[in-house]
Structure 1
Amino acid sequence: MDLFDECLEALGEQKEILSEELTVKYFNSLSKQFPITSWARIDWEKVKNKKRIEYSDELFKWLKDNGIADTSVIILWNPSDDPAVKTTLENALAVIDDVTAVGSDTFMYSELGYVIEFYHDGEVTVGMAN
């Protein structure tokens, strides 16, 4: 069993594995909404509405402060050939070590225009598309 399979098992029933086409679509959408550096990280200096996160309660407060109630997210990994997975933020955070183990960097992207980046150095940042 590889790390992706372990992640899927940890996420349980509350998930949807997306097609390769949808995975590409969401990566493209993410890169259109957020500035990406040459080393494939979000360029947070260019994002106005952002917050570094230390604890998950800060994340939920940021979402609430920005009027976001829907916590559906698309999990994307970079680099990875694994497909994106749709789940809830709560579900993903409950097994975050399994989720972030799949790729060096993990993005939890919402179609509502926000993203949470779990960078490989341990830094976690949430931001809203400009």
Structure 2
Amino acid sequence: MDKFFNACVEALGKEKEVYDEERTIRAFNRFLEAFSFAVIEINWEKYPDHKVISGPKDLKGLKLNDCFIFWNEGRLPAVKTTFSQAIKCRQKIAELSPFAWIVGANYDWVLEFHSQGKVRFTFAD
């Protein structure tokens, strides 16, 4: 596995589960079904109430728990962790791929990291 991925997973601490290829595919496909996509990023026009996030303070007050981390880099497995751990490691997560997503374990919200530094958040329809 990639040393940068391993460093990211290590930084997540003990509260994580790295999925195998089959579980990654199933989880990622559920993510694709839950949100509307435009090529490789979320189609933000379909989510007019989305928020552009400038830092963790923009997410304060949201009761977000377990989540998945997905990358558009196909060789990287999905990781299940807590939202607080994912946010602590957001830089490492975002650095691994041009697009990365932190998605609620119930596929009810998403935080998208774009390679150009833009971060957006929305709830599912």
Task: Give the TM-score normalised by structure 1.
Answer: 0.86
Higher share in strand:
2
Query: Kindly, what percent of the aligned residue pairs are identical?
Result: 31
What is the letter of the counterpart of residue 14 of structure 1?
E
CA positional deviation for 1:70: 4.0
Tell me, yes or no, if structure 1 residue 128 matches structure 2 residue 123.
yes
Tell me, yes or no, if structure 1 residue 89 matches structure 2 residue 83.
yes
Alignment-derived partner of residue 15 in structure 1: 16
State the 4+ residue runs in structure 1 displaced beyond 6 angstroms: none
Checking the alignment, whether the CA contact within 8 Å between 1:33 and 1:129 is kept in structure 2 is: yes
Alignment-derived partner of residue 75 in structure 1: 69
CA RMSD, aligned part only? 1.5
- Alpha-carbon spacing, 1:26–1:49, altered in 2? closer, same or farther (3 Å): farther
What is the letter of the counterpart of residue 127 of structure 1?
T
Alignment-derived partner of residue 3 in structure 2: 2
Alignment-derived partner of residue 32 in structure 1: 33
Alignment-derived partner of residue 66 in structure 1: none
Instruction: Show CA shifts across 1:72-123 (max 9, x none).
Output: 1100001231110011111111122222222211100111511100111111
3-state secondary structure, aligned to 1:45:
helix
User: Which of 108, 113, 116 is matched with 2:108 structurally?
Assistant: 113
Tell me, yes or no, if structure 1 residue 60 matches structure 2 residue 60.
yes
